[in-house]
Amino acid sequence: MRDPKIKIYNSKFVSFSLCLCVSVVSLFSSVLAQTENPPPPGAPRPVQVPKVQETSLPNGLKVVVVERKNVPLVTAQLLVLSGSSSEEDSLAGLANTTASILLKGTKTRTATQIAEEMEFLGGNIDSAAGWNSSQVTINVTSDKLDKAMAIMADTILNPTFLPKEIELFKTQTLDELNVLLKQPGNLASFVASRYTFGEHTALGTPETISKFNQSNLSAFYKANYTPKNSVLILTGDVSLQTANALAKKYFGIWKTPQSKMTSTTKITVSKEVNPSNNPVFKRILVVDLPNSGQAAVNYAKRLDFGRISENSDYFSSIVANTILGGGYSARLNQEIRIKRGLSYGAGSSITWRKMSNNIFARAQTKNVSAAEVTELLAGEIGKLGADAAMQDELTARKLTLTGDFGRDLATTGDLAARIADLYTFGLKPDELNTYIQNVQKVSDAQVKNFAMQNIRGGDIIIVGDAKVFMDDLKKRFPNIKIEVIRADELDLSKDNLRKN
């Protein structure tokens, strides 16, 4: 005979389960309602950057300090105001190789010793070069700053550029390039550098990397790594007095040689186009990568004004970009991923030079949908210049920019990078404290005007298995000539991109 208590317990369990289910359903409904009708975005929070203090050593080295005492951490960066723009086309990648080899041995330390000593201090050291600058950076607790600066200075002042380290780095870089150039998205970026932007890539190409030797690196180093061409930036738990003392101790003996290498990079200057007759894009280039798993669909445009140009219109440009493709809720991702599920992500970016800048929009998709995604991407670029942004959209996208800006200043490393960016372009460091206000001032009319004047008229570059999508591409764009280059025929060091 069943115990009557069990029946009672079962009844209680059923009642509890029903209540739990009702609660879960109610909670889900509440969350769903909030998702469908999210609250309006709040006002941007003000960001106050601590005072940027600057002095100079007798040898011309600028010393910049931003003191922040909330955590006992310091970032120190030696910023060299020369990067890939200061190397010859035939030696593309030389700046990055030179910066990287700095950490591979000095007159008193091997590469292993440099790494082990920094690890013993609980810090890290890194070096790299981009288009506009090169840098060596350390992150360490403030009580270890003196010893870490000694290591950092040694790598900058006393590099040996050992042939065996150069050959090892070349091998590693060539292996990396071999992998990158088989991936549609990365290959498209390399192609755009030459085809649209008229530049070489900062990483270099297989043809140029293989040429490097000790003489090349030593010549680039002597010409560009000088105190008058550098800025020492320290952010975090460090005072101006301490920073100056360490700068004098470790960089006071640094001297500037007599010769100076100048930039020989060739830049193709595009002609201005009348916006009223400006199509969304002018050319389509297909790089045929047979049997590729996916296709990369890209839009590229080079603009003939830079970060320091009088007509740079910097803030209108970054707001326009964030509306187009600067985040998950931006138009490209909304249209291509969220609405149609044709890509895991679509976006756009603007990279700045002193006197030019590059716009690059991208999406990766199945080969069979490459032509459709091309049409969608071009359509969104056309709409940005044809219609003003909705006020709600404009407000939300500007808040994305200002929110990212606040997060970018959260660590000593990110703060140093922001300061370095301003010094790279010769801008006033107090611009950091007016950034949010300048973003908020941008109007929908300014975004529309910037897009119509500048974003239209670029190139479509598609990398993928051409036999899958070419027929569809020709049907969708019957009046556009489509140039096709096989991936195995590419030579990224040549203007026509072809080996022969």
Domain boundaries, the chain: 52-251, 275-489
* pLDDT at residue 28 is higher than 80: no
The predicted structure's pLDDT at residue 278: 64
* Span 161-220, pLDDT tens digits: 999 999 999 999 999 999 999 999 999 999 999 999 999 999 999 989 999 999 999 999
Reading the block at residue 274, the tokens are 């009348």
pLDDT of residue 72: 96
Q: Would you say 301 and 479 are in contact if contact means Cβ atoms under 8 Å apart?
A: no
Residues in contact with 48: Cβ distance below 8 Å, sequence separation at least 6, in sequence order: 433
Residues pairing with 284 in the sheet: 460, 482
Confidence of residue 62 (pLDDT cuts 50, 70, 90): very high
Amino acid 21: pLDDT: 52
DSSP 26-83: HHHHHHHHHHHSPPPPPPPPP--PPPEEEEE-TTS-EEEEEE--SSSEEEEEEEES--
Whether the per-residue pLDDT at 276 is higher than 50: the answer is no
| The CATH number of domain 52-251, selected from 3.10.180.10, 1.10.150.120, 3.30.830.10, 3.10.105.10 | 3.30.830.10
At 495, the pLDDT band (50, 70, 90 cuts) reads confident
pLDDT of amino acid 267:
41
User: Is 434 or 156 the better-scoring residue by pLDDT?
Assistant: 156
Helices 391-408 and 314-324: crossing angle in degrees, nearest 10, is: 110
**pLDDT tens digit sequence for 32-44:** 445 555 566 666 6
Q: Give mean pLDDT, residues 229-258.
A: 94
Supply the pLDDT for residue 173: 96
Chain segment 281-316, per-residue pLDDT in tens? 999 999 999 999 999 999 999 998 888 876 668 999
Average pLDDT of the chain?
A: 88
Asked if residue 428 has pLDDT above 60, the reply is yes
Question: What would the CATH number be for the domain defined by 275-489?
Answer: 3.30.830.10
Q: State residue 258's pLDDT score.
A: 63
**Each residue's pLDDT tens digit, 105-164:** 999 999 999 999 999 999 999 999 999 999 999 999 999 999 999 999 999 999 999 999
Mean pLDDT, range 99-103, rounded to an integer: 97
Q: Which two tokens stand for residue 277?
A: 């007759």
pLDDT band at 29 (very low <50, low <70, confident <90, very high): low
Split at pLDDT 50, 70, 90, the class of 269 is very low
Beta-carbon contacts of 209 under 8 Å, excluding residues fewer than 6 positions away, are 93, 97, 170, 173, 174, 177
Which tokens go with 378?
A: 């071009």
Based on the number of CB atoms within 10 Å of its own CB, is 310 exposed (0-12), middle (13-18) or buried (19 or more)?
exposed
Q: Is residue 99 pLDDT above 80, yes or no?
A: yes
Answer yes or no: pTM beyond 0.75: yes
Q: How far apart are CA 83 and CA 92, in angstroms?
A: 11
Q: With 50 as the cut, is the pLDDT of residue 9 above it?
A: no
Given a cut of 80, whether residue 268 has pLDDT beyond it is: no
User: Which of 274 and 398 is assigned the larger pLDDT?
Assistant: 398
CA 58 vs CA 27, 62, 150, 418: distances in Å? 67, 9, 20, 26
Three-state secondary-structure class, residue 484? strand
Confidence of residue 494 (pLDDT cuts 50, 70, 90): confident
Q: For the chain, give the percent of residues with pLDDT over 70.
A: 86
Same fold, 52-251 and 275-489: yes
What pLDDT score was predicted for residue 408? 83
Residue 493 DSSP symbol? T
Which of 65-84 are b and which e, b meaning 16 or more Cβ less than 10 Å from the residue's Cβ?
Answer: bbbbeeeebbbbbbbbbbbb
List Cα–Cα distances, 385 to 7, 278, 389, 446, 473, in angstroms. 71, 11, 9, 10, 24
Q: What average pLDDT does the segment 54-65 reach?
A: 97
Question: Pick the residue with more confidence: 40 or 338?
Answer: 338
| Stretch 375-396: mean pLDDT | 88
Q: What pLDDT, in 10s, does the model give residues 350-373?
A: 999 988 999 999 999 999 999 999
Ranges 311-315, 370-374, 393-397, 467-471: which has the least confidence:
311-315
Predicted confidence at residue 307, as pLDDT, reads 87
282 or 271: which leads in pLDDT:
282
